[in-house]
Amino acid sequence: MNKVTSKKTTYIVTSALFASIICLTILHIPVGGNNGYVHIGDAFIYLAATILPTNYAIAASAIGAGLADLSTGAAIWVIPTIIIKPILVLFFTSKSDKIINKRNIVASVVAGIVGLVLYMFAEGIIIGSFTSAFVMSLLGLLQPIGSFIVFIILGMALDKLDFKKRYFN
């Protein structure tokens, strides 16, 4: 197998692994009365975005988070999720040797805010009231805060192990 095929295979397998982790990492804390829930899988979306090329991280985030919604009875959120989660990936960089760097720290904050606003907008459409969606979305602040903390902890641990240099260079 040549080096290009091997690298592509590594990216595909890693994307599938991230999609499954994102799907299965369900710290399922119900939020509001609309089948919404806090899903700490966003931390793994952030990790995928800092490790994989953008197109692979986008696929992992859409598939993993979409399947999480589908498998937890939150099917009404599948379409918004497969649109919103890939957008969060776009703020990160995978070009650095380190997962935790200034851009990715800022990106995790921005992604948390953008995700919260986009889900608030989607909820406003679904329930027909943007005022109610805004009030209920304030509870959703737990998700970006928790995801940020888990992302930083895991990213620092992987950086200490030189994970990206060892497996992706």
Instruction: Give the CA distances from residue 24 to residues 19, 27, 44, 48, 66, in Å, rounded to whole numbers and listed in that order.
Output: 9, 9, 11, 15, 11
Reply yes or no on whether the pLDDT at 38 is more than 60: yes
Q: What is the mean pLDDT of residues 14-22?
A: 97
Q: What token pair was written down for 169?
A: 């260079």
Reply yes or no on whether the pLDDT at 33 is more than 60: no
pLDDT score, position 94: 92
Please state the φ and ψ torsions of residue 73, each to the nearest 5 degrees: 80, 15
Q: What is the mean pLDDT of residues 98-108?
A: 97
Please state the separation of Cα 95 from the chain's center in Å.
Answer: 18
pLDDT score, position 32: 55
Reply yes or no on whether the pLDDT at 147 is more than 60: yes
